[in-house]
């Protein structure tokens, strides 16, 4: 009885090309969610709204963002992928705050 070895693979017969995981990943661009100064809403309302919309913000983070927007005209809320950035910005707008997104450099 004769066996056909043509289907078996040999470890020395081929070259295996490997890429580093860092070369395989394509980094998605990040976007900044910005809060603009708001002369209408109270500071407390802005801080509370920031924490409702972006739950991972601590109270201190929300206060710092609100003060940054109040003092300089614009505050950086979060940097993230496009889809969550759009969601956060639209959610802030729906609660009466002025927000925009821009691509991170």
CATH value at residue 70: 3.30.1390.10
Strand order of the β-sheet with 99-103 is 74-80, 31-36, 99-103
Quote the domain boundaries for residue 61.
35-103
d(CA 102, CA 71): 20
Asked, for residue 18, whether it belongs to a domain, the answer is no
Structure tokens at 34: 């910005």
Q: What is the pLDDT of residue 7?
A: 46
Each of the 105 residues of the chain gets a pLDDT tens digit; together they read 454 554 444 455 555 556 555 555 678 899 999 999 988 999 999 999 999 999 999 999 999 999 999 999 999 999 999 999 999 999 999 999 999 999 998
Asked, for residue 53, whether it belongs to a domain, the answer is yes
| 32 three-class SS | strand
How many domains are there within the chain? 1
Asked, for residue 56, whether it belongs to a domain, the answer is yes
pTM of the model: 0.74
Asked, for residue 61, whether it belongs to a domain, the answer is yes
């Amino acid at each position: 009885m004769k066996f056909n070895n043509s289907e078996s693979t040999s470890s020395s017969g081929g070259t295996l090309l490997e890429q580093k995981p860092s070369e395989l990943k394509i980094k998605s661009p990040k976007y900044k969610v910005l809060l603009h100064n708001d002369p209408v809403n109270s500071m407390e309302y802005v801080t509370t709204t920031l924490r409702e919309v972006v739950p991972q913000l601590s109270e201190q983070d929300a206060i710092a963002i609100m003060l940054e927007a109040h003092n300089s005209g614009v505050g950086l809320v979060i940097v993230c992928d496009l889809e969550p950035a759009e969601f956060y910005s639209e959610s802030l707008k729906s609660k009466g705050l002025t927000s925009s997104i821009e691509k991170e450099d």
